[in-house]
Structure 1
């Protein structure tokens, strides 16, 4: 086949796959664990993206595993419930489609059966405690967590020698500095996982309108 034709075919394939808003569930394996990311056009989503390390699409992250063949994502959001940690189906997590402009799924590499069982037990413990969403981003304190921090706490409990994270420090923008009553933010960005060798991407979609 002509090289130019091969290049065109490859480009068309890449274009079609990246434009596809949904993914094939068969890509998710029940014996694996994944990080699920989304980006939204909401005010909160816009603010979150400003403090990522490099990724312009992500504003929220959760960790997901399979229960009886169906994947559920454990994540924390601000709500009126006693525990702000939610266990959401894939459909619910990505359900607010009119506001979602990014979807991403990363597989957590080298999780064996024993570790997966331990991970589910850890997630169950978090689900059955009372945590609030940390709107101040101060860090783990008085059972308050933000989304990336929850994922990090779970992974650290799974294996603190394998999953190592360091906080990022960034100067706060004007109104954000006023709201949080400080000049700098020390935090775990939502995209902190993406350049780590422990994770590999299996799906991404951007709304490039």
Structure 2
């Protein structure tokens, strides 16, 4: 009798494991099969301080997709116009981990993104120029990506933290809600990209 119970428990454990694997596989296929962004993208009428969101293709992006049940997007950055060329200032894990600034066409290349959107706030042009200048200072001062997702460190920033602090630094506090996640190693309060799409003064333009 005892042997039979142990056998049933083991069998149920194997079945549960297989179900979890199938759910993960289904989620990954759904995540990966999003609409592919074209390699060459031409944008007009973009403004300094617009924010761009993408659904990335990396392992980190898939993790965000799994954890955030509201996730349409997994990464975010601030648009900086330089000689009418749109760049994106953003924070992402990399070899150096420095804050990055790259052309929008690279940020949204199909190797990096499967879906995207651009949002615009109702702050005035002078104010948004200051936001971009602040974000650019993070890049120039070689701030780095924060793998611990700690909102109290100001020279280590993750993607949503960079956007939040660039706006907050020039007097336009964004009231975004962190989501508390429980890990084996402890708890973390993380702000997900989807929170920015809920703010009333941001409008989706693309």
Give the TM-score of the pair, scaled to structure 2.
0.72
For residue 43 of structure 2, what is the aligned residue in structure 1?
Answer: 25
1:88 to partner: Cα distance:
1.0
For residue 196 of structure 1, what is the aligned residue in structure 2?
Answer: 199
1:139 to partner: Cα distance:
2.5
For residue 166 of structure 2, what is the aligned residue in structure 1?
Answer: 154
* Whole-angstrom distance in 2 between the partners of 1:92 and 1:201: 21
Checking the alignment, whether the CA contact within 8 Å between 1:131 and 1:145 is kept in structure 2 is yes
Checking the alignment, whether the CA contact within 8 Å between 2:144 and 2:156 is kept in structure 1 is yes
5 Å-filtered alignment, 1:4-83, equals 21-22=37-38, 24-26=42-44, 28-30=45-47, 32-52=48-68, 54-55=70-71, 57-81=72-96
Unmatched 5+ stretches in structure 2: 1-33
* Whole-angstrom distance in 2 between the partners of 1:63 and 1:119: 9
Q: Per-residue CA shift, 1:143-166, capped at 9, x if unaligned?
A: 2211101110101012245x2233
Q: How many positions carry a matched residue from both structures?
A: 171
1:100 maps onto 2:113 in alignment = yes
Unmatched 5+ stretches in structure 1: 1-17, 204-209
1:94 to partner: Cα distance:
1.2
Q: Report which of the two structures shows the higher radius of gyration computed on alpha carbons.
A: 2
Structure 1 consecutive aligned stretches of length 4 or more whose deviation exceeds 3 Å: 18-24
5 Å-filtered alignment, 1:120-131, equals 120-131=132-143
Checking the alignment, whether the CA contact within 8 Å between 1:53 and 1:192 is kept in structure 2 is no
Checking the alignment, whether the CA contact within 8 Å between 1:134 and 1:146 is kept in structure 2 is yes
Structure 1 residues 160 and 67, CA gap change in structure 2 (3 angstroms): same
Give the TM-score of the pair, scaled to structure 1.
0.71
* Whole-angstrom distance in 2 between the partners of 1:115 and 1:142: 21
1:186 maps onto 2:166 in alignment = no
* Whole-angstrom distance in 1 between the partners of 2:55 and 2:103: 17
Q: Per-residue CA shift, 1:13-62, capped at 9, x if unaligned?
A: xxxxx968456512x334x421111112321111012333512x311110
State the superposition RMSD in angstroms. Answer: 2.4
1:86 to partner: Cα distance:
0.8
1:80 to partner: Cα distance:
3.0
